[in-house]
Structure 1
Amino acid sequence: MVALSRPSSSSLSSSSTRYDTIFFDLGDVLFTWSPSTKTSVSPKTLRSILQTTTWFQYEKGEISEDECYTSVSLEMGLSPNDVRNAFQHARESLVSRPFMVELIRELKPGRKIYAMSNISAEDFAFLQTKSSDMDLFDYCFTSSSARERKPNIGYFRHVLERTGADPSRTIFVDDKLDNVLAARSFGMTGILYDDFENVERTLRNLCFDPMVRGEVFLRHHAGEHLSYTSTGVTIHENFAQLLILEATHDPSLVKYTKYNGPFNFFRGEGELTTSAFPCDVDTTSIGITCSDHMSLEKKHEVMDAILNLRNADGIPQVYFDASRPRIDPVVCVNVLTLFHKYGRGKQLKECYEWVESVLRYRAFNEGTRYYEPPEAFLFFLSRLFLVAPDVHKRLGPLFAECCRERIGLKGDALALAMRLLCCNFAGIDASGDLTTLRGMQEIDGGWPDGWFYKYGSNGVLIANRGFTTALAINAIRGAGLRMKRPSSITNLKQAWNDTVVRIPYRFRSTAHDAH
């Protein structure tokens, strides 16, 4: 038998992934129907008939429609006419799912799309007269023509031979687990149709470039990447905005307040805390390293002020407010990054020693006072390494050990993105976490909640989808480069820069939304 034509590699767009073939079931995937037929045959009985050996023979074309109805009527104690009328009503109840049709049309360019259904010749002929959506498919495989039915292995072998499809590049969508399992046993990627939202998300994540989709999400929400709390409150802050700026190098995506001195976490008054909220060294350190509006002289003045905030142990406190004596190791890492960037790292000897101890003894493994994911400590430490080659030389091997220990652990999208970035940085394979992160991408192209920062006083968590998405894009891009551990800090910087989001020109805005 002649194999059906396959798409050429040149027909696939550069944004396509490795999947070039998709098989869809028809009933309860593309079409729905009702077993309530307004006849003497109850919905329960009708569904029972569909599971009989007689019906299976009918679907495979081994017996005629009349023979089927006569046989099942005897089995079920029904009249053949009642059975015929019930199935005629069921046929007439068939309707296509327009949202599924639209999705398949979107998936079709550059791919072969096939139907693979357990359906009799008579039912398929009726379906073709009732629906105009069958043009979606390059070919429709039916159990009646194949003389096999799902989940039988022979049916799957038949369609693979006919199409020449490579199972490793093939997706199979069906509402029956037995059928999905059989497809997977051939090496196909099986998707169980449970609800449309899950199926759509999975298909988009498998078939479209995650980085392009993420970049579109960032551009679509430019200037509106607001943070929100675990209690459902939207907050207007500078911290995540500055980190998005660093991750994307695109100021048009964010809004933040430019200070000529210490930075404040909030853009206005404090939210869910005291209204007169003090400036903090964490946002200040990030702000000075991520933005370029402050003079060098002023930056050093701010660093002098930070030195004056050290406690008796030599650790910089979080707030420019003596009445709030707080410390956090992640904040210390960010302060060290600022000081090392401007050649003053040696002024924070005690701070560095504490950070090293936190790393060595895994004190960060349950998060910190202000940071929810353990990965935040490692992520910001990798930023420090970029400006402090001596610190990287000393702590790099220990950092890599900690990264390996995190691989495969449970985490939200932000934790996974940070983990992958750190593993990419250290030249460590974390392909399992990469697969998990890619599968978390939402239909709109962004990634879901990633609880990042938190209020130290009450533990209320803060997330920002823009920040999570920017880091996820960078993590996926970096994993794709399959970086090996750089031998020099120059190569290390280049490796980091290679993973930074570059928003395509067509998505950029000419307006500068930062203020």
Structure 2
Amino acid sequence: MTISLPGSPAQAATRTRRQAAARALDFVSRSVSSTGAPSALLSLDPGFEQCFTGARARGILREHFGVDPGFDLAGEAFSAMVSLTLLPLTAHEADPHLILRLATHVKACRWRARYRFFPGSGGFPADTDCTALATAALFEHGLLTQEGLERGALELLRSAALPRDTRRSPDPRDEDRLSRGVFTVYWEDGEEPAALRRGHKQDEVAAANALYTLLLAEPDTAQTCAVVEATTRHLADHLDSGRYLAGTRYYPSPDAFLYALSRLCARFPAIAAALAAPARKALAERDASTMVTVARTPANALETALRTLAADHLGITTGQEQRQALLTDTQRLDGSWPPAAYYRMGRFPVYFGSPYLTTVFAMNALRTHPYARPTERSSVPAAAPRPHSHA
């Protein structure tokens, strides 16, 4: 354990980190209005050199790609779901007013036990990524009952690709076959009224998020065991093969996958036993490759934050001080960090990100303790507060 003397460099770094986290929280709190989190911006390049609002996106897609997506892209609630997942659960750290504003935004997207990317119907269907994040976050903040969690988990189970689903997607441009027993992104079961068909697709970050929520609910069925085993194998193969370095269908950065995987490992010992060691190795390799370019190009604060969180989840302290120093050095005067690509459209190179999203991740990354030994931390966080609201 590092012992910090008064006025030592370690103590000064801790003060700087805490001050940066406080400024970030102030920015996040100001950004979340009574109607929820600000909608993400969009860009045609992952570096976000130029970006535009969701209100303009449909016209820009027509202009650049000659295609109308069939729905408007303004007012997404996925940013609210992500930030609700990241906000502290413990009472002495949590901001109840901020959590409730975000939860109201998230709940506006619910259809039965599923959650949509946009509030209201609008033609865009509910998906398993939104459903997994929203269901788990609401439950862990005590805003969804155990029964509500279990209903969401059963819906996620229904999305897992069965043998009859191993046909090619209805979209001729989607050439990937489905992996059996692994969660799909869209249900495509025709149950949601007026929902556009999106095709049978899989994404490893979405699958990791769905697996987290399924394990949180602990349904004890043969189908659950089969889906857990199939999805764990699928995630392990994506990691071991090195395919994660190219991102996933909806998440362009390899760090997004490592973060989602590490979140699973931190919460569930059985998953950690299978995936933590290769995830640590992949994170070390990722760090080595990015250190070559970090001196020549501005650090991507979002990817730095994702790697910081992944390292913390995996019990890695090496490099944490440097990662957090990068974050504090690149924070803007208003407490935020620049937008970067967190997720993207599947068919087109259109990226979503915002100062708000980057800041939520960076704020959480700065709250990790760079000096804690892995043996001093539990591999499983403390139990979530008891739910007290209706499902």
Aligned length: 292
Report the residue type matching 1:265 in the other structure.
Answer: F
**Which residue is 1:233 aligned to?**
53
Instruction: Evaluate the alpha carbon distance shift between residue 212 and residue 341 of structure 1 in structure 2; reply closer, same or farther with a 3 A threshold.
Output: same
1:369 aligned to which of 234, 238, 249: 249
> What is the distance in 2 between the residues matched to 1:390 and 1:305?
23
Instruction: Evaluate the alpha carbon distance shift between residue 282 and residue 208 of structure 1 in structure 2; reply closer, same or farther with a 3 A threshold.
Output: closer
**Which residue is 1:388 aligned to?**
268
**Can you list the C-alpha shifts for 1:381-420, whole angstroms capped at 9, x where unaligned?**
1221233211112211111111111215155211110101
Tell me if the contact between 1:414 and 1:450 (Cα under 8 Å) persists in the aligned partners: yes
TM-score, normalization: structure 2? 0.67
> What is the distance in 2 between the residues matched to 1:464 and 1:405?
27
Matches within 5 A, 1:237-386: 237-249=76-88, 250-252=98-100, 254=102, 256-258=105-107, 259=110, 260-269=112-121, 275-292=122-139, 293-311=143-161, 312=163, 313-322=180-189, 323=197, 324-344=199-219, 346-348=225-227, 349-386=229-266
1:214 aligns with 2:24: yes
Structure richer in strand, relative to its length: 1
Matches within 5 A, 1:65-464: 209-223=19-33, 224-230=37-43, 231-234=51-54, 235-249=74-88, 250-252=98-100, 254=102, 256-258=105-107, 259=110, 260-269=112-121, 275-292=122-139, 293-311=143-161, 312=163, 313-322=180-189, 323=197, 324-344=199-219, 346-348=225-227, 349-407=229-287, 409=290, 412-425=300-313, 426-430=315-319, 431-464=321-354
Unaligned residue ranges in structure 1 (runs of 5+):
1-8, 20-204, 270-274, 498-515
SS at match of 1:335: helix
Cα deviation for residue 491 of structure 1 reads 4.8
Tell me if the contact between 2:117 and 2:130 (Cα under 8 Å) persists in the aligned partners: yes
> What is the distance in 2 between the residues matched to 1:447 and 1:486?
32
Higher relative contact order (CA 8 A, sep 6+): 2
Instruction: Evaluate the alpha carbon distance shift between residue 444 and residue 246 of structure 1 in structure 2; reply closer, same or farther with a 3 A threshold.
Output: same
> What is the distance in 1 between the residues matched to 2:157 and 2:262?
23
Further displaced range: 348-357 or 313-322: 313-322
> What is the distance in 1 between the residues matched to 2:186 and 2:239?
23
SS at match of 1:327: coil
Cα deviation for residue 302 of structure 1 reads 3.5
SS at match of 2:275: helix
**Can you list the C-alpha shifts for 1:117-159, whole angstroms capped at 9, x where unaligned?**
xxxxxxxxxxxxxxxxxxxxxxxxxxxxxxxxxxxxxxxxxxx
Instruction: Evaluate the alpha carbon distance shift between residue 420 and residue 321 of structure 1 in structure 2; reply closer, same or farther with a 3 A threshold.
Output: same
Cα deviation for residue 265 of structure 1 reads 0.9
Instruction: Evaluate the alpha carbon distance shift between residue 365 and residue 471 of structure 1 in structure 2; reply closer, same or farther with a 3 A threshold.
Output: same
> What is the distance in 2 between the residues matched to 1:476 and 1:399?
21
Instruction: Evaluate the alpha carbon distance shift between residue 340 and residue 17 of structure 1 in structure 2; reply closer, same or farther with a 3 A threshold.
Output: same
Larger Rg: 1
Report the residue type matching 1:381 in the other structure.
Answer: L
Identity %: 21
Unaligned residue ranges in structure 2 (runs of 5+):
44-50, 55-73, 89-97, 164-179, 190-196, 385-391
Tell me if the contact between 2:115 and 2:130 (Cα under 8 Å) persists in the aligned partners: yes
Cα deviation for residue 287 of structure 1 reads 0.7
Instruction: Evaluate the alpha carbon distance shift between residue 18 and residue 244 of structure 1 in structure 2; reply closer, same or farther with a 3 A threshold.
Output: closer
> What is the distance in 1 between the residues matched to 2:16 and 2:146?
47
Instruction: Evaluate the alpha carbon distance shift between residue 481 and residue 282 of structure 1 in structure 2; reply closer, same or farther with a 3 A threshold.
Output: same
**Can you list the C-alpha shifts for 1:434-489, whole angstroms capped at 9, x where unaligned?**
332222211111111121011112121111322321221221221x442222477x
CA RMSD of aligned residues (A): 3.0
Tell me if the contact between 1:412 and 1:451 (Cα under 8 Å) persists in the aligned partners: no
